[in-house]
């Protein structure tokens, strides 16, 4: 099959099988996503981030943990250290490259735990209603009433310091807003005719929630998650700064900023470079989130 006919096959108005229809829908989603330049920029930055994380040992010029006290706080463009060196003489570029792994790890774990927990609680609460709704939403309120970092601190103090526990603590504090969004969406969806129609086919609540409500909630949650990523990275950094997240030699971006904080006036690049990295990745997530919303919203582009 030549490329031209493959394209026609994907864009056909009259798909011949379920698989064909699905592939066609994905391809058309991709086409509309590709038309969004900003979203593509975000996607490319994140692909680059994944590639950098995967190939960190091959592309980093130095070992991120080797100290060179004779060459500490080297400015940008120092020979062999393009982004300078930090207070212990470690190469900042190498640390940023290795730090991308930690960032991705945090982002992936939080993005898996928090929205899924929130989706589950929110849709069940919104669809079932009654006392279950009241109980679940009061629990959500209790979580929302605490300042996020303080609650995360309490969790980490109970679970023990370390990046995994920091991620877990952040997830535990991050799910309530997702639950609220999912519940609000569910409340508008549950009274619509297409839910009544499937109820009239004898579908049970589990099937309705999973197959009919989730697909409509997920797009707004994905957008919210991508917008929250910056905050999640910073919360992880904040925990690291307090000695409860990533532990010192680890090249976590947030921890690097808090290290560089001491020299921010005289040696700005020590804090600015990891800050720039966080900024770039957060921006990429936001751009991607916007693009995804355009693709995932069924009413858009009509």
18 binds other proteins (CB under 8 A): yes
198 binds other proteins (CB under 8 A): yes
199 binds other proteins (CB under 8 A): yes
Task: Rule CB under 8 A: choose which of 88, 104, 203, 227 binds other proteins.
Answer: 203
Residue closer to other proteins by CB (options 213, 256) is 213
Q: State the DSSP string of 76-104.
A: TTBTTBTT-B-TT--BHHHHHHHHHHHHH
Task: Rule CB under 8 A: choose which of 1, 14, 69, 158 binds other proteins.
Answer: 14
Distance CA 245, CA 239 (A): 5
8 binds other proteins (CB under 8 A): no
Give min distance, CB of 33 to other proteins, in A.
17
202 binds other proteins (CB under 8 A): yes
Give min distance, CB of 213 to other proteins, in A.
10
Give min distance, CB of 289 to other proteins, in A.
19
Distance CA 244, CA 235 (A): 11
How many chain residues bind other proteins (CB under 8 A)? 28
Residues in contact with 235: Cβ distance below 8 Å, sequence separation at least 6, in sequence order: 148, 149, 152, 170, 173
Length in residues, the chain:
302
Task: Give residues 209-248 in contact with other proteins (rule: CB under 8 A).
Answer: 211-212, 215-216
Distance CA 93, CA 34 (A): 31
Q: State the DSSP string of 214-254.
A: HHHHHHHHHHHHHHHHHHHHHHHHHHHHTTSSS-TTS--HH
Rg over alpha carbons for the chain, rounded to the nearest Å, is 23
Q: 90 with 70: CB under 8 angstroms?
A: no
At CA 240, angle to CA 238 and CA 243, rounded to 5?
Answer: 115
Task: Rule CB under 8 A: choose which of 13, 58, 130, 265 binds other proteins.
Answer: 13
Residue closer to other proteins by CB (options 68, 297) is 297
205 binds other proteins (CB under 8 A): no
Q: Which stretch binds other proteins (CB under 8 A): 142-150, 200-208, 241-249, 272-280?
A: 200-208
Residue closer to other proteins by CB (options 121, 195) is 195
Task: Rule CB under 8 A: choose which of 2, 17, 131, 160 binds other proteins.
Answer: 17
Residue closer to other proteins by CB (options 196, 247) is 196
15 binds other proteins (CB under 8 A): yes
194 binds other proteins (CB under 8 A): yes
Of 297, 288, 138, nearest to 217 (Cα)? 297
Handedness of CA 129, 131, 135, 137 (dihedral sign): positive
Residues that bind other proteins (CB under 8 A): 13-18, 20-21, 24-25, 192-194, 196-203, 211-212, 215-216, 298-299, 302
């Amino acid at each position: 099959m030549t490329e031209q006919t493959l394209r026609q096959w994907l864009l056909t108005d009259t798909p011949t099988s379920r698989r064909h229809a699905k592939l066609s829908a994905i391809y058309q989603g991709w086409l509309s996503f590709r038309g969004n330049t900003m979203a593509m920029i975000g996607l490319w930055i994140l692909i680059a981030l994944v590639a950098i994380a995967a190939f960190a040992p091959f592309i980093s010029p130095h070992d991120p943990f080797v100290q060179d006290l004779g060459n500490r706080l080297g400015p940008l463009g120092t020979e062999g250290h393009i982004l300078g060196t930090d207070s212990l003489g470690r190469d900042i570029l190498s640390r940023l490259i290795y730090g991308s792994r930690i960032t991705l790890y945090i982002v992936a774990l939080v993005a898996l735990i928090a929205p899924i927990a929130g989706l589950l609680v929110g849709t069940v609460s919104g669809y079932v209603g009654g006392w279950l709704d009241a109980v679940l939403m009061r629990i959500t309120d209790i979580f929302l009433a605490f300042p996020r970092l303080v609650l995360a601190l309490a969790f980490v103090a109970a679970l023990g310091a370390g990046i995994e526990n920091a991620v877990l603590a952040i997830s535990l504090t991050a799910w309530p807003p997702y639950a609220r969004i999912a519940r609000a969406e569910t409340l508008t969806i549950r009274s619509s005719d297409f839910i009544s129609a499937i109820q009239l086919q004898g579908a049970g609540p589990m099937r309705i929630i999973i197959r009919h409500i989730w697909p409509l909630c997920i797009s707004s949650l994905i957008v919210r998650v991508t917008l929250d990523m910056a905050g999640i990275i910073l919360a992880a950094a904040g925990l690291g700064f307090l000695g409860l997240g990533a532990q010192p030699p680890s090249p976590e971006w947030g921890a690097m900023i808090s290290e560089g904080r001491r020299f921010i006036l005289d040696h700005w690049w020590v804090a600015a470079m990891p800050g720039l990295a966080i900024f770039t990745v957060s921006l990429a997530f936001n751009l991607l989130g916007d693009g995804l919303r355009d693709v995932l919203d069924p009413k858009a582009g009509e």
